[in-house]
Structure 1
Amino acid sequence: MGVESFALAPLDYLAIGAFFATLSIVGYWAGRGEQASSTEYFLAGKKLPWYVVGGSFIASNISSDHFIGMIGSAVVFGISVSMLEWGNVITFSLLIWFFIPFLLSAKVFTTPEYLELRFNAALRQIFAVVTVISNVVAFLAAVLYGGALALSSLFGWDPWFAVITLGIVSGIWAIYGGLSSVAWTDLLTVAVMIVGGLTVTILGLDALAGDGGSLIDGFRIMIERNQATHGQWAEAVAVNTDHLAGGDADAYDRMSLFQAATHPIVPAISLIPFILSVGVWYNVLNQFMIQRVLGARSEYDARMGIVFAGWIKVIMPLITVVPGMILFALHPEILLGPWDQVKPEADKGYVRLIQSLVPVGLRGLLLAALFGAIQSTVNSVLNSTSTIVTLDIYKRMFRPQASDRDLVRVGVVSSIIILAISILLGGFVGRLGGSLFEYIQSLYAFFAPPFAAVFVLGILWRRINGTGALVTIISGFGLGIAIKLYMSLAATPPAWLVPYANQASINWFFCLAVCSCVSLLTAPPRAEQVTDQLTFNWHKMNLWKGLGDRWYTSVVTWWGLFIVTVVALFIVFSGFVLPSLALPSL
């Protein structure tokens, strides 16, 4: 697929410069005095308003794996990738109604701290170490690699130079101002990402519509071609059915959210357990996501922040999925090459759309959106990882009496070291091959099930004890490794075991069973490990406070509308409704 050579005009440089200048002003302003205490540095003094909580929650989540990897996966698999955005309706609802009031009442700085109070110190340390490793390998290194891939494609930069530059530029405000700088710069970043991402989508639909056509015409053409009923689009799906659906002989439906059990990314059969394992681990247990919730100024701000994040998730496929579907509609030949080249080629989709569709003068905005996505995730992960290193490893294991000033100093130093290691690893991610998005998701599927099972059981059932939790973590990782070894050594592994979502679901159910059985066969936990602050007491847990004073500011109102909207999207893209609309061929 040929593309135009890439060039930037003075206006593009002005847009990029204005973005980083504004980002620097916001980061400096928000971070003033935040090194005065550990509460200020690690939890922003617990004064973040709801719009900052929600904006930062999403900005931390969106990065190069979305603009590079998720768009690439949408080129290959179609609308089904949106399930990874809209499926958050379940996890976000659990956060709003159960986890937020629970975690705030527990008054903890970190999730490992909670695990020690509920189970034992060993579990806290294991989770802290695993969190640091997963943050560096699954988040920072992959994000820096994705950004470097874009810069290399756009400007011909050396990949190592790109990784180093991105790491240094992206990490500066997390090191300087802690969570406050991170959260407020995230709010700016998410606005730029939405505007920039929607610009690509609009230009793509306009290109599909052609001269004299409307955006609605472009949308109809995109839908029709992604239904793959004729021409090269049908051929592209037909020749790759085995790869797209893991051997399912039926025709692959690119316009359905609900896919067969052999689908490589979102098999419908594993939707619920995948959300309750990877979703809970990512959005609740994952320190770099939950930290901004713990830094909210009130329970209302924490809850409404997640509602706001949910609404951003509703529109995210317009930015991270639809561009991939537009690229497939424009260039179905991407899927007609050798399969081992399809995914790497698809990962270049965002860059190719910028190159071929975006006029000089707007490219700076699009690059600012991409760079913003990278810096927000790097900032957030750096801040949260340094929080865990400082509070759960340094203070817990080496200096329990450390002063606030000492803790902040360790946080700054550990951020620098973590960033350096991530930059080093980021240069090697590309050698793993395959899709960037699937690489990251497969790591989530490995790390998440044991901890998610222990966490959910631990807060719901007081009989779960530390012995059961430890055995579950060890055996869960053992099963995960065994599955990976089997998949790499077996000549023809069963198609249903190939999707990482199915692997995560199997491991999650296994961990639930192990944790329950071992806990019942060993001594019950001590009384102080199952207090009302550490486990749910349905009679005393006040789930109805912090919901807002008026109906139009109520958490209930906006959460309810969020639920209705996502359910409607599920119905429209169920694989049954859309074909019945009989969209005209254009």
Structure 2
Amino acid sequence: MNHILLSSIPGIQSSAEAGLEWLDYIIFGLYFVVLTVIGLWVGRHKSTNSEDYFLAGKSLPWYAVGGSFIASNISSEHFIGMVGAAFTYGIVVATSEWRNIWTFSLLIWFFIPFLLASGAFTIPEFLEKRFNNTLRQFFAFVTILCNITAFLAAVLYGGGLALHELFGWGLSFSIIILAVVAGSWAIYGGFRSVVWTDFFTVIVMIAGGIIVTVLGLKMLADGGSIIEGFQVMIERNKADFGLWKEAVATQQEHLLPNHNSYNRLSIFQPIDHPTHPWPFMIVGFLSVSIWYNVLNQFMIQRVLGAKNIYHARMGIVFAGYLKVLMPVIVVLPGLILFAQYPGDMLMDWEMVKPNADQGYIRLIQQLVPIGLRGLLLAALFGAIQSTVNSVLNSTATIFTLDIYKRVFYPKSSESRLVRVGVISSVIILLISIGLALVIQFLEGVSLFVYIQTLFTYFAPPFSAIFLLGILWKRINAFGATVAVFSGFAVRLILGFVEIPFEWLTAYEMQAIFTWGFSAIVCVIFSLLSAPPPSEKIQADLVLNFKKLNLKAVVAKKWYKTVFFWWGLYVVLLLTLFVIFSGSII
């Protein structure tokens, strides 16, 4: 099975032995009380209007947009899967967060104006306005499938596993109770409840995550300062001596057998790296990141619900700063684990990744004092529940507006659409619970890798046609449709046949290849057929500099301008890229 009982790993205790005391349960319970109060208060007025239920009445301020954007993104993939991936692969895992700089910048300056001006509730609706109904329906179907398999089921499994190991509950019961609690706000109060419970949750997650990292660095310092602990972490991850050197030699043998070394502190890895080849950090945003942050309904729904374009843009800038911070709480713990337990890298390699997924729980049990453990469990659970309720609401939105209303009952009343949203949320949640119980039978799979791999199947074709469709009026529905279906076929072939080229074996390189193929097909077939009709290329749907609304980034005071805070974000990220390029550290 994919999971290993923590009690069987040296240094790991069962829940009864882990020191969870009444104070931990009180703090954990207080989190639920506050979450409940927020959810009930915000969702106290029953929504009979679809805009209010699915987009919070387009009333969200920038801090709610950005906070909820990140809270819905952080899940067991991060606290469980990403910490484990950082233990296995090193600092390069941080690029999963940092490379969002490219997509966020495009979203701020180009995509937001189009999405808001179009008046669309959902991304499938936007695709129909720019292309055709076929792409709208296919994208809606793919989105629902992806949300259930790559998000809901995987996150519920990771969260259920954490509750199972920490509290000793049965795995099935843990998954079910997590799904019911996490999904309740999405079903009860709609998108407004989701956003404001997310905002509270992201505060708890960041506070709890920083505590674990700080305590981990203090552990490495052995009585010294946090700075000394950081220095110890860096030195041991350099792996120039002792057991750490032996561990990295083993790591290199399995990850990069055609190379002589492996640098755990570099974000630029060889092109045949199994998960993070260097081209993906530079151009990978074109395939997965645009889809995840722009076309992914459960992420972009926050932008569509913003008060206005200023709050939408500033919300994404705020999300960018949180992305800079994320590796502190989900990557450094993995480096700390390697610095403290390098011997874990020397076990049977098939067991390294699934065991590494237990790393965050291991740190909580060993380092966090009684009382604070309750806060950390709240942070872990908060990460999971925020993703579940966000994905659940957005999936119900897609089903209700793009399938139920568009295909079956176009004249549905507003109140009926809200009821369908509630009922579909319950059904989607039940399906996800069933799939979450199936994931446990996948052998030797890292949760992080499982989710990221699924993304590369769904994302590239749609990212290609979306970007080309906005940038070039000549792209038409026929070219986009051929590109999407042929792109999916190519990605399936790459995923299920033996590839003779070493550089194309990594799933992220396959995503880049699929995106390039889809883009070329889209251009060729668009040029070989008639130009799109005028209503498909109006100013709200394709690039028009007059519609970018750059005046909205200007404020009377310089410290309130979008451009200032975006520029500072860019400088900060580029500095981190240089520091961890492999030449300085």
TM range (shorter): over 0.9
Match of 1:538 in 2: 545
Q: How far 1:540 moved relative to its partner? A: 4.5
Give the one of 527, 537, 559 matched to 1:520.
Answer: 527
Q: Is the 8 A contact 2:109 2:548 kept in 1?
A: no
Percent of aligned positions with the same letter in both sequences? Answer: 57
Q: Distance in 1 between matches of 2:570 and 2:283?
A: 19
The gaps in structure 2 that reach 5 residues or longer are 1-9
Give the one of 465, 488, 500 matched to 2:507.
Answer: 500
The within-5 A match list for 1:136-147 is: 136-147=148-159
Match of 1:50 in 2: 62
Match of 1:220 in 2: 231
Q: Is the 8 A contact 2:80 2:360 kept in 1?
A: yes
Match of 1:295 in 2: 305
Q: How far 1:539 moved relative to its partner? A: 4.3
Q: Distance in 2 between matches of 1:129 and 1:478?
A: 16
Deviation string 1:203-225 (CA, Å, 9 cap, x unpaired) is 100111112x1111100000000
Q: How far 1:155 moved relative to its partner? A: 2.2
Q: What SS class does the counterpart of residue 281 from structure 1 fall into?
A: helix
Q: How far 1:546 moved relative to its partner? A: 4.2
Q: Distance in 2 between matches of 1:383 and 1:390?
A: 10
Deviation string 1:154-175 (CA, Å, 9 cap, x unpaired) is 2222211111111001000000
Q: Please tell me whether residue 82 in structure 1 is matched to residue 91 in structure 2.
A: no
Which amino acid in structure 1 is aligned with residue 156 of structure 2?
L
Q: Please tell me whether residue 576 in structure 1 is matched to residue 583 in structure 2.
A: yes
The within-5 A match list for 1:334-353 is: 334-353=344-363
Match of 1:480 in 2: 491
Q: Is the 8 A contact 2:110 2:548 kept in 1?
A: no
The within-5 A match list for 1:548-559 is: 548-559=555-566
Which amino acid in structure 2 is aligned with residue 553 of structure 1?
K
Q: Is the 8 A contact 2:113 2:547 kept in 1?
A: no
Q: Is the 8 A contact 1:34 1:40 kept in 2?
A: no
Q: Is the 8 A contact 1:34 1:180 kept in 2?
A: no
The gaps in structure 1 that reach 5 residues or longer are 579-586
Which amino acid in structure 2 is aligned with residue 2 of structure 1?
G
Q: Please tell me whether residue 393 in structure 1 is matched to residue 403 in structure 2.
A: yes
Q: Distance in 1 between matches of 2:258 and 2:112?
A: 41
Give the one of 238, 243, 261 matched to 2:249.
Answer: 238
Which amino acid in structure 2 is aligned with residue 17 of structure 1?
G
The within-5 A match list for 1:187-586 is: 187-211=199-223, 213-245=224-256, 247-433=257-443, 434-487=445-498, 493-578=500-585
Q: Distance in 1 between matches of 2:548 and 2:478?
A: 27
Match of 1:583 in 2: none
Q: Is the 8 A contact 2:540 2:547 kept in 1?
A: no
Q: Is the 8 A contact 2:553 2:561 kept in 1?
A: no
Q: Is the 8 A contact 1:274 1:505 kept in 2?
A: yes
Q: Aligned pair count? A: 572
Q: What SS class does the counterpart of residue 377 from structure 1 fall into?
A: helix
Deviation string 1:77-133 (CA, Å, 9 cap, x unpaired) is 111100111111111111111111111111110000011111111110000000000
Q: Is the 8 A contact 1:34 1:44 kept in 2?
A: no
Q: Distance in 2 between matches of 1:473 and 1:21?
A: 46
- Aligned residues: CA RMSD: 1.1
Q: How far 1:193 moved relative to its partner? A: 0.3
Which amino acid in structure 2 is aligned with residue 230 of structure 1?
F
Q: Is the 8 A contact 1:303 1:547 kept in 2?
A: no
Q: Distance in 1 between matches of 2:430 and 2:351?
A: 31
Q: Please tell me whether residue 174 in structure 1 is matched to residue 186 in structure 2.
A: yes
Q: Distance in 2 between matches of 1:259 and 1:549?
A: 44
Deviation string 1:176-220 (CA, Å, 9 cap, x unpaired) is 111100000000000000000001001100111112x11111000
Q: Distance in 1 between matches of 2:120 and 2:554?
A: 22
Q: Distance in 2 between matches of 1:248 and 1:361?
A: 48
Q: Distance in 2 between matches of 1:335 and 1:217?
A: 24
Q: Distance in 2 between matches of 1:565 and 1:546?
A: 20
- Cα–Cα, structure 1 residues 267 and 34, in superposed 2: closer, same or farther, change >3 Å? farther
* Segment drifting more, 366-375 vs 150-159: 150-159
Q: Is the 8 A contact 2:67 2:318 kept in 1?
A: yes
Q: Distance in 2 between matches of 1:34 and 1:111?
A: 25
Which amino acid in structure 2 is aligned with residue 318 of structure 1?
V
Instruction: With the length of structure 1 as denominator, give the TM-score of the two structures.
Output: 0.96
Give the one of 85, 88, 95 matched to 1:73.
Answer: 85
Q: Distance in 2 between matches of 1:253 and 1:512?
A: 34
Which amino acid in structure 2 is aligned with residue 81 of structure 1?
V
